[in-house]
């Protein structure tokens, strides 16, 4: 609220609240005061976030900028947009069938799932097995996992992991720190029946896919 952010500022503020989705904070130093145009997403923000806004307005500090960006990310990640068309049926595995089975332990709604259509390029330094897009409520799974030699339990774990992202969204704490894998997330993730086995296979997965690539296999 206006009075909270005003009280945090050592100089007078002129506040202008808006809902512009491209520029959520702009500052102009005028004689004797600061003019601050600020997105309404900050209206009920925790006090440390409002303090970061003030610190950034006065000093342009990198730490304050990071907190502000985290808060904006948290807000805009809740906005749903239309996603791309996804194909859940692969050559080996059907993601929709896996997803439907896992709903009993990760009950979510309004989420679609399919294989990512982004081709793998370059060297294997790391692999992103799956993603959950908060904006359009879509889970996309790396097509490398559509392979008969990839254990079904590991693919199920990756799908489950992304479903847990939908259940346990990113949070920002009272100090303005952003957390993707919260304590709640980690506890829920461990409920997967073959959690230990899946994590063990994950440790060898990079070498597994490197070897397949060296042998000319997809």
pLDDT tens profile 25-47: 888 888 888 888 888 888 878 88
Domain boundary among 24, 41, 76: 76
pLDDT tens profile 152-185: 999 999 999 999 999 998 776 655 566 778 889 9
Helix axes 195-214, 152-167, angle to 10 degrees: 120
* pTM of the model as a whole: 0.64
Number of domains in the chain: 2
Contacts 24+ apart (CB under 8 A), 206-213: 206/124, 206/126, 206/127, 208/149, 209/124, 209/127, 209/144, 210/124, 212/147, 212/149, 213/124
Which domain CATH number covers 146? 3.30.2010.10
Whether residues 17 and 101 fall in one domain: no
Whether residues 143 and 210 fall in one domain: yes
Reading the block at residue 178, the tokens are 């952003």
Question: What's the domain range around 65?
Answer: 2-76
Whether residues 118 and 63 fall in one domain: no
Reading the block at residue 103, the tokens are 């709903």
């Amino acid at each position: 609220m206006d009075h909270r952010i005003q009280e945090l500022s050592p100089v007078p503020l002129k506040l202008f609240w808006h809902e512009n989705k491209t520029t959520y904070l702009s500052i102009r130093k005028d004689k004797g005061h600061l003019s601050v145009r600020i997105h309404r997403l900050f209206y009920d923000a925790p006090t440390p976030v409002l303090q970061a806004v003030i610190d950034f307005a006065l000093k342009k500090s990198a730490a304050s900028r990071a907190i502000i960006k985290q808060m904006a990310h948290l807000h805009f990640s809740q906005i749903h947009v239309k996603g791309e068309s996804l194909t859940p049926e692969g050559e080996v595995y059907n993601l929709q069938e896996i997803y439907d089975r896992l709903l009993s332990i990760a009950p979510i709604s309004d989420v679609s799932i399919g294989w990512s259509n982004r081709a793998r390029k370059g060297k294997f330094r790391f692999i992103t097995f799956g993603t959950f897009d908060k904006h359009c409520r879509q889970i996309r799974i790396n097509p490398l996992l559509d392979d008969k030699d990839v254990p079904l339990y590991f693919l199920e774990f990756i799908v489950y992991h992304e479903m847990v992202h939908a259940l346990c969204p990113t949070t920002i704490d009272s100090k303005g720190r952003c957390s993707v894998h919260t304590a709640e997330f980690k506890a829920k993730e461990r409920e997967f029946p073959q959690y230990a086995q899946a994590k063990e296979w994950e440790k060898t997965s990079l070498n597994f896919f490197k070897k397949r690539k060296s042998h000319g296999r997809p």
